[in-house]
Structure 1
Amino acid sequence: MASAPHLHAPIEDAERLRQGQRITWVSVAVNIALTAMQVVVGLAAHSQSLIADAMHTLSDVVADVFVLIANRKGAEAADAQHPYGHHRYETLASLMLGLLLSATGIGILLAAAGRLENLATLPPVGIAAFWAAIATLVGKEGLFRYMLTVAERLRSPMLMANAWHARADALSSLVVAVGIAGSVLGVGFADGVAAIIVGAMIVKAGVRFAWEAINELIDTGLSAEEVQRIHETLRTAPGVLGLHDLRTRRMAHHVLVDAHIQVSPRVSVSEGHLIGELARRRLLKAHPEVLDVLVHVDAEDDVDSSQRAMGLPERDALVRHLRHLLGDAPPPFEDITLHYLGRKVEAEVVLPAELMADPEHLARIGRCLAQRLPGDTWFSAVRLSCRVAPE
Structure 2
Amino acid sequence: MPHQGAAATRSVRIRRVLIVILIANVAVVVAKLFIGIGTGSLAVLGDAAHSSVDALNNVLALFVVWMASKGPDEDHPYGHQKFETLGAMGIVGFLSVSAFELAKGAVQRLATGAPSFSVSPIQITALLATLAINVVVASFESRKGRQLNSEILLADAAHTKADIFVTIGVVAGMVLVRMGVTWADPVLALAVVGIIVVLAYRIMSRSVPILVDRHLVPSSAIKDSAEGVPGVKSAYDIRSRGSRHQSFAELTIAIERSVTVEDGHQIADAVESRLRSDLHLHEIIVHVEPC
> TM above 0.5, one fold?
yes
Q: Deviations over 1:330-362 (max 9, x none)?
A: xxxxxxxxxxxxxxxxxxxxxxxxxxxxxxxxx
What do the CA deviations read for 1:364-384 (whole angstroms, capped 9, x no partner)? xxxxxxxxxxxxxxxxxxxxx
Aligned-residue RMSD, C-alpha: 2.6
Q: CA deviation at 1:174?
A: 1.3
Question: Counterpart of 1:65?
Answer: 59
| Residue 233 (structure 1) aligns with | 225
Tell me the residue number matched to 2:23: 29
Aligned: 1:282 with 2:282: no
Matched, 1:165 2:176: no
Q: State the Cα deviation string for residues 123-143 of structure 1 (Å, max 9, x = none).
A: 333333333333333322332
Residue 90 of structure 2 corresponds to residue 75 of structure 1: no
Could you list the per-position Cα deviations for residues 217-246 of structure 1 after superposition, in whole angstroms to 9, with x for gaps in the alignment? 11111354xx55544432222211222222
**Which structure has the highest strand share of the two?**
1
CA-CA distance at 1:76 after TM superposition: 0.8
Q: Identity of aligned pairs, percent?
A: 26
Q: 1:243-295 CA deviation, whole Å, 9 max, x = no partner?
A: 222222124512211121121122123322221122213333455x4221100
Amino acid at match of 1:240: V
Between the two proteins, the alignment pairs up a number of residues equal to 291
Give the whole-Å Cα distance in 2 for the aligned partners of 1:189 and 1:234: 61
Corresponding position of 2:94? 100
Shift of 1:213: 0.8
Alignment of structure 1 residues 246-325 onto 2, 5 Å: 246-251=238-243, 253-287=245-279, 289-300=280-291
The two structures have a TM-score, normalised by structure 1, of 0.67
Name the one with the larger helix percent. 2
Structure 1 stretches of 4+ moved >6 Å: none
- Aligned-partner residue type, residue 242 of structure 1: S
- Structure-2-length-normalised TM-score: 0.87
CA displacement at 1:110 relative to structure 2: 2.0
| Counterpart for residue 341 of structure 1 | none
**Cα distance in 2, alignment partners of residues 145 and 245 from structure 1:** 45
In 2, the alpha carbon distance for the partners of 1:255 and 1:60 equals: 26
CA distance in 2, matches of 1:101, 1:203: 7
- Superposition pairs of residues 1-391 of structure 1, within 5 angstroms: 10-11=4-5, 13-151=7-145, 158-224=152-218, 229-251=221-243, 253-287=245-279, 289-300=280-291
Letter in 2 for 1:271: D
Q: Displacement, 1:152?
A: 5.7
Q: Unpaired segments of 5 or more residues in structure 1?
A: 1-6, 301-391
In 2, distance between residues paired with 1:15 and 1:65? 19
Deviation of 1:161 after TM superposition, in Å, equals 4.1
- What are the superposed Cα offsets for residues 1-32 of structure 1, whole Å, 9 maximum, x if unpaired? xxxxxx98735642442233122212211111
Question: Alpha-carbon deviation of 1:188?
Answer: 0.6
C-alpha distance in 2, partners of 1:9/1:106?
A: 47
Alpha-carbon distance change, 13 to 93 in structure 1, aligned in 2, over 3 angstroms: farther
Cα distance in 1, alignment partners of residues 250 and 83 from structure 2: 22
Cα 1:11–1:83 change in 2 (3 A) is: farther
My pick for the range that moved more, 24-33 or 148-157, is 148-157
Q: Is the alpha carbon distance of 1:79 and 1:46 closer, same or farther for their aligned partners in structure 2, counting shifts above 3 Å?
A: closer
Q: Distance in 2 between matches of 1:108 and 1:13?
A: 42
State the one-letter code of the partner of 2:270: L
Q: Look up the SS of the partner of 2:159 in the other structure.
A: helix
Amino acid at match of 2:290: A
Secondary structure of 1:298's partner? strand
Q: Distance in 1 between matches of 2:129 and 2:149?
A: 30
Q: Within 2, Cα distance between the matches of 1:183 and 1:17?
A: 46
CA contact (8 A) 1:48 1:191 kept: yes
The one-letter amino acid paired with 1:137 is L
- Partner of 1:221, secondary structure, is coil
**Cα distance 1:198–1:220, how it changes in 2: closer, same or farther (>3 A)?**
same
